[in-house]
Amino acid sequence: MEELRSVTVWLEDKQKELELLTDHFGLAAALAATYMERWQIELFFKQLKQHLKIKTFVGTSANAACIQI
């Protein structure tokens, strides 16, 4: 079984803690915020796909996404 590291982050807007598990022991705990930001980006694209009925994005740049939308 792999060892995991627990990182706890305080969510100011929700006034609660979020516990993340990672297998990266060399990373600073401050990188937990990066995980949260990435998750928000994933949720944003999920909403775009659901509401605009886009299955996949054909480009990776901001311009390509704007053109497709």
| Structure confidence by residue, pLDDT tens digits, 6-52 | 888 788 888 999 888 888 777 665 666 777 788 888 888 888 888 88
DSSP 8-state class, residue 31: G
Between CA 20 and CA 43 the distance in angstroms is: 17
Domain count for the chain: 1
The maximal CA–CA distance of the chain, rounded, in angstroms, is 46
Give me the pLDDT at residue 30, please: 64
pLDDT of the residue at 15: 92
Give which of 7, 5, 2 is closest to 31, Cα–Cα.
7
Q: Which residue has the tokens 């516990």?
A: 19
* Contact in structure between 69 and 51 (CB atoms under 8 Å): no
Domain span holding position 62? 5-68
